[in-house]
Structure 1
Amino acid sequence: MMSLPPPVFPAPVSEDIWRRKYRFGNEAGIDETWRRVARAVASVEAKDQPFWAEKFLGLLADFRFLPGGRILANAGTERSATLLNCFVMGALDDSIDGLFTALRESAITLQAGGGIGLDFSPVRPAGAAAVRTGNIASGPVSFMRLWDAMCETMTADRARRGAMMAVLRCDHPDIEAFIDSKTAAGVLSHFNLSVLVTDEFIRAVDADDAWPLVFGEQVIRTLKARDLWDRMLRAAYGSGEPGVLFIDRINRESNLGYIETIHACNPCGEVPLPPYGACDLGSINLARFISHPFSDKAGFDFESVASTVHLAVRFLDNVLDLSHFPLMAQAEQARSARRIGLGITGLADALIMLGLDYDSNAGREFTARVLGTMRNAAYQSSVELAEEKGSFPLFEVDAFLDRPFTHRLPEGIRALIRRKGIRNSHLLAIAPTGSISLLAGNVSAGIEPVYAASVNRRVKRLDGGDDIMELEDFSVQAWRKGARGSVPPAFVTASQLSAEAHLAMQATAQGFVDNAISKTINVDASLPYDDFRQVYRRACDLGLKGCTVYRQGSRGEDVLTPVAAGSICNSDTC
């Protein structure tokens, strides 16, 4: 393979994270990690494997493209570990055999390194009689506790916490217990929670109608829709959970809505998935495409981003063929749809380096141009891959081109899909990029604003304890190297932005993303409840697929705490 100059870690935290999470064996530097990964991902090519290994090595160099952490950690190691970050488990069967089979499958998946999402809606409510035994059911929340204990057991000796997402339909009879299940500190600590909110429920809230809670064909009881909505909002105000998933919109917008129904998503929400679906993730580091930062000559290399995307799509498509899957059903689903999720990280830092405010039309227009460039390049690359390797097995050209997202593609790309097919059903997702953003020098994560100029971050050790690391934001580091003062002119932290500013950026991005976006609306601790309660409804109006709001400090000790004024992260899975 080609000779690269030894890479320089962009910050001390980069080398630390590499040693903790991604170094394999006696690798001397991250260049050896990149070579291992590049060779492995190229190994599934039918021909010219050395050529593609060189190409993939160049893609990884200089932290321009950041594959998902499982890819960096496991590709080329011959471990029986998955390269895919997360999965949605199979539909739960409301029986002891079915539930404990699902628990076993979840344990196998967590053991292999994947986070999981589960829809507990099929589980009968507490107090209902079991048909065959006459026993009284304990309800979904009791089974969530079982999963939580299993996750703690399976992942207790790892630096990476086991991550799970539990969802429940807004019309399930136990929805109130679900909403309240994490209001006490330390309960269900391995779960994120989201309510599956339907269009019908939103209409009932707006009309102040009664709302039936049902199981199967039976209405168990009714309550006021607005009372249930308010209960959700008050729980989120107090503890940061639950979030909401606008499930009808998710299915309506899915490129595979003609053949599958989605009931859940991965733990951070960026990939809604059918039963046994998987996340195959990677991110373009936008901070690496800036020229002449902090100056009147500052520019962004859109052409290089497009060429990087073109190669990254092939890389992530190869991962689907290379990866070990904990369950055969996961392999079958992943390879029949060939979903990938290419996203971005470092957006806020890129904006700061270009002198653009996060909450400005210019900032949102730049974001739209970047993501539009990526969308077009990704779809064109997938068409070319289909011409070479074949379309994904579930592809039906007329049905695929009749989906809302594909209707919005440029006509030239639609014509190419009609003529040549397409390799991947979905191509874009914006993940939270917690650890890989640290690897790249503590660039701002995903599309989030910067948390603070400097933060203390809790990092989990293999022995279960925590280390505290003081970190400086990537753009602030670059600014201070020029001896130019404390922070750049366009610098702003998450808590200094209004909730509307967060939502507006997420809405801008969602128009170009066929999966979804992991985004936390961080708001100040002092925000009044009457202001907070508008955020989820506004998210619905803006066409988002989901929303999570975190009020600073509402969950006790946080993963990130600002050294200077700023915001904080909301989750142990950041």
Structure 2
Amino acid sequence: MNDETLLSDISRDIWDTKYRYREGTQIRDHTLEDTWRRVARALAAVEPHDRATWEARFFDQLRDFRFLPGGRILAGAGTGRRVTLYNCFVMGRIEDSMDGIFDALKEGALTMQQGGGVGYDFSTLRPAGNRAWHVGGIASGPVSFMRVWDSACATLLSTGARRGAMMATLRCDHPDVEAFIDAKQDPRELRHFNLSIQITDAFMEAVRSDADWPLVFPDRHLERGDGPVELRTWPGEDGQVPCRVLRVVRARSLWNQILRASYDYAEPGVLFVDRVNELNNLWYREHITATNPCGEIPLPPYGACDLGSLNLTRFVQAPFTPQAQLDEEALEAAAGLAVRMLDNVTDVSGFPLEHQREQAQATRRVGLGVTGLADLLIMLGVRYGSEASYHLAASVMERVCHAAYRASVELAREKGSFPAFDRDCLLEGRFVASLPSTLRDAIARHGLRNSHLTAIAPTGTISLLANNVSSGLEPVFEAHFTRRVHQEEGDDVEREVEDYACRLWRERGNDGFPPAFVDAHDLDPEAHLRMQAALQPFVDNAISKTINIPEDFDFASYGSVYERAFDLGLKGCTTFRPNPVTGSVLAEIRPPAGTVHCCGLEREPD
């Protein structure tokens, strides 16, 4: 293999600017093959036996873009740099004190400095206007301190660090939830944050019954006073704690405020937090209230996850012909080997904080996903959004999921289960209970190496590296478009970008578009939702998916998108409708100042 594998200029640019290893001005990765060998050698170095054999197998898995590790792995593995190979972190609880707030800020800055995206739950901070009775001041509220984080992220960027990415979540019953909903409507505010509201099942019931909705905060953190008290489970608190009702709103009115903000400004998204916890394999030891910046990895405090995606286009035989089919055996074998590679990342990676290392090694979470799904469908002659596309996509993800779990069982036999493994509790979990009986029996006998195994990330940049295969489970956005790429020398260049399946069709002597071609502009929101729902039963982490909303979509119908997401069993929902603040979904490779957003094409922080 040589660099002819990089068939497009933009793929070469992505490799050269993001993943090629340099030491100062000294180039270490002279070719793409050097990058693959560097990564393969680093991940094989922790194998107890036959390292040369594993290095060769890992290299073969990486070549030809069959498996695309997360960007931090590609950029950092084997370089000897003090960096993390993990894309995704959720930070620890923010203590409701000035010391606690700035300790948390420091931890986040250290994590972003080493290349990690971070997520925070700001629900632990007391609401604005409440007196901090022990010091006599007035609390300024979560949103005010989010601005401090945003400034810190901007400062890190000014030092030459990679693009920062942060997620902020807030409970739907926090008294400052309305301020949180409106926080990004000013285009100058919180541009390095993505926002999600933690939506509970109780809130959705209140919305549908048009009931009152109390906004509350733990009583022991408030100035002494009167008012109704309700028991609530609150982040950072043990069990249910007394929470004082500070205000009461109409649930439907609050829901409509969320919808209007997301319709007009594409934020906040929603996180169906009860479902996240009900389906968490580690339900017996974790309570999750936040995610990584793009939402595909719900994590506990100090949780981390390493990511990688199987490029589905590399497993299609005889594309565009009546004999076109998926090589299922090769896909399952690749999934199994990818799990081993991602598991090794836990032992190779550095961690900005010791708490992160402890959490990662206790659970050994990995997030194996897919990319190129839309191109796979085109190459097989199946239209994205058809009934056949949902069935095929579900079948593909089911194979990946079950192959990943089988591989993790085998790794447990060879190397031991993850330290936090509790056989009886794990087998009682709702997701594990949905696995085939043969897999559950194998877990009962031999254990499991990794607490979680599947996630679908946005994969915007690594998909461009792989000659612009369609990203994650998203439809093809457009067959052709132009992207601006920032060069190492500081200049910007325009690059023509063509969808992988369309290019392959054209190179085989065909005119126009493949018969099954469809792009995002031709799909209604229901098609996006149903595709996400088709894969969700086989994803034990979560899915990063943007529901594209036409600019002229009726607001009166818009609420049904989110309610439909809830009814379909999704763990969260993010929409994007073009608007003056965020612009078009077709973001540039280097977004203009002030327009960082989770719903652009380059969404994964790599």
- Band of TM-score, shorter chain: over 0.9
Scaled by the length of structure 2, the TM-score of the pair is 0.91
User: Are 2:355 and 1:325 equivalent residues in the alignment?
Assistant: no
Determine the structure 1 residue equivalent to 2:255.
229
- CA apart distance, 1:561: 6.4
1:161 Cα offset (Å)? 1.4
3-state SS of paired residue (1:121): helix
Alpha-carbon contact 1:494-1:523 (below 8 Å) kept: no
Helix, strand or coil at the partner of 2:137: coil
AA in 1 matched with 2:179: A
Amino acid paired to 1:116 = V
CA shift digits 1:362-384 (9 cap, x unpaired)? 11111111111111110000000
1:284 aligned partner, one-letter code: L
Q: What percentage of aligned pairs have identical amino acids?
A: 55
Give the match for residue 434 of structure 1. Answer: 460
Match of 1:174 in 2: 176
Aligned residue in 1 for 2:426: 400
Looking at structure 2, the residues matched to 426 and 255 of structure 1 have their Cα atoms a distance apart, in angstroms, of 7
2:202 paired with 1:205: no
Q: Which residue of 1 aligns with 2:599?
A: 570
Normalising by the residue count of structure 1, what TM-score does the alignment of the two structures yield?
A: 0.96
Partner residue in 1 for 2:107:
105
CA shift at 1:55, angstroms?
0.9
Whichever residue aligns with residue 15 of structure 2, its letter is: W
Given the alignment of the two structures, is residue 138 of structure 1 paired with residue 140 of structure 2, yes or no? yes
**Relative to structure 1, is the Cα distance of residues 416 and 556 closer, same or farther in structure 2, using a 3 angstrom cutoff?**
closer
AA at the equivalent of 1:412 = T
Name the CA distance, whole Å, in 2 between partners of 1:307 and 1:484: 33
User: In structure 2, what is the Cα distance between the partners aligned to 1:558 and 1:163?
Assistant: 19
* CA distance in structure 2 between the aligned counterparts of 1:9 and 1:312, rounded to whole angstroms: 22
Q: Distance in 1 between matches of 2:460 and 2:348?
A: 24
Give the aligned partner of residue 379 of structure 1.
405
Cα distance in 2 between the residues matched to 1:426 and 1:19: 32
Equivalence for 2:370: 344
One-letter identity of the residue aligned with 1:100: F
Q: Give the one of 13, 16, 19 matched to 1:22.
A: 19
Which secondary structure does the structure 1 equivalent of 2:599 belong to?
Answer: coil
Distance (Å, rounded) in 2 between the aligned partners of 1:519 and 1:118: 20
> Counterpart of 1:311?
337
Deviation by residue 1:369-406 (Cα, 9 ceiling, x = unmatched)? 11111111100000000001100011110100000000
Q: Pick from 4, 7, 10: which aligns with 2:7?
A: 10
- What is residue 152 of structure 1 aligned with on the other side? 154
Q: CA deviation at 1:494?
A: 1.2
Paired letter, 2:118? I
Q: Which amino acid aligns with 2:569?
A: G
Q: What are the Cα deviations for residues 471-528 of structure 1, in whole angstroms up to 9, with x where unaligned?
A: 1111111111123222111111112111010000000010110000000001111111
Tell me which residue corresponds to 2:592.
none
Residue pair 1:23, 1:33 contacting (<8 A) in 2 also: yes
Q: Which amino acid aligns with 2:554?
A: P
46-55 or 198-207, larger mean C-alpha shift = 46-55
Distance between the aligned counterparts of 1:160 and 1:289, measured in 2? Answer: 33
Aligned residue pairs: how many?
566
Distance 1:439 1:159, change over 3 A: farther
Q: How far, CA to CA, are the matches of 1:412 and 1:81 in structure 2?
A: 39
Query: Quick check: 2:213–2:249 contact (8 Å CA) kept in 1?
Result: yes
Aligned to 1:269: 295
Structure 1 counterpart SS, 2:304: coil
Q: Is the 8 A contact 1:558 1:570 kept in 2?
A: no
Partner of 2:192: 190
Q: Distance in 1 between matches of 2:47 and 2:477?
A: 41
3-state DSSP class of the match of 2:124? coil
Deviation (angstroms), 1:47: 1.8
Paired with 2:184 and 2:587, the residues of 1 have a C-alpha distance of 22
Indicate the residue corresponding to 2:231 in structure 1: none
Matched, 1:389 2:389: no
Q: What's 1:475 paired with? A: 501
State how far apart, in whole Å, the 1-side matches of 2:281 and 2:203 are. Answer: 24
Which of 439, 446, 469 pairs up with 2:472?
A: 446
Cα pair 2:311 2:370 within 8 Å, conserved: yes
Q: Which amino acid aligns with 1:32?
A: D
182-191 or 7-16: bigger deviation: 7-16
- C-alpha distance in 2 between matches for 1:137 and 1:7: 59
- CA deviation after TM superposition for structure 1 residue 554, in Å: 5.0
Structure 1 gaps, min length 5: 563-567
Distance 1:160 1:541 in 2: 38
Contact 1:70 1:113 in 2 (8 A): yes
SS at match of 1:510: helix
Give me the whole-angstrom Cα distance separating, in 2, the residues matched to 1:371 and 1:126: 45
Distance (whole Å) between structure 1 residues aligned to residue 131 and residue 184 of structure 2: 26
- The separation in 1 between residues aligned to 2:16 and 2:495, in whole angstroms, is 14
Deviation string, structure 1 residues 129-171 (Cα, Å, up to 9, x no partner)? 1131110011000111000000011123548410000000000
1:530 deviates by: 1.1
Matched position secondary structure for 1:280: strand
1:6 Cα offset (Å): 5.8
Alignment map for 1:26-41 (pairs within 5 Å): 26=27, 27-41=29-43
Say if 1:266 and 1:539 are closer, same or farther in 2 by CA, change over 3 A: same
Shift of residue 460, structure 1, vs aligned partner: 4.5
| Structure 1 residue identity aligned to 2:575 | V
Separation in 2 of the partners of 1:42 and 1:291? Answer: 30
1:22-66 deviation line (CA, Å, top 9, x unaligned): 000221111000000000001111121111111100110100000
The separation in 2 between residues aligned to 1:396 and 1:159, in whole angstroms, is 40
Could you tell me which residue of structure 2 aligns to residue 565 of structure 1?
Answer: none
Equivalent residue for 1:162, pick from 164, 173, 180: 164
Shift of 1:185: 1.5
Q: Which runs of 4+ in 1 moved over 4 A?
A: 4-7, 460-467
| Comparing 159-168 and 462-471, the one that deviates more | 462-471
Native 8 Å contact 1:525 1:554 kept in 2: no
Q: CA RMSD in A?
A: 1.6
* Counterparts of 1:43 and 1:84, CA distance in 2: 18
Partner of 1:154, secondary structure, is: helix
Amino acid across the alignment from 1:262: I
CA shift at 1:459, angstroms? 3.6
Q: Which residue of 1 aligns with 2:383?
A: 357
Matched residues in 2 for 1:430 and 1:83: separation? Answer: 18
- The structural deviation recorded for 1:199 is 0.5
The alignment status of 1:282 with 2:311, answered yes or no, reads no
* CA contact 1:159–1:464 (8 Å) conserved in 2: no
CA distance in 2, matches of 1:247, 1:428: 18
Structure 2 unaligned spans of 5+: 219-242, 589-596
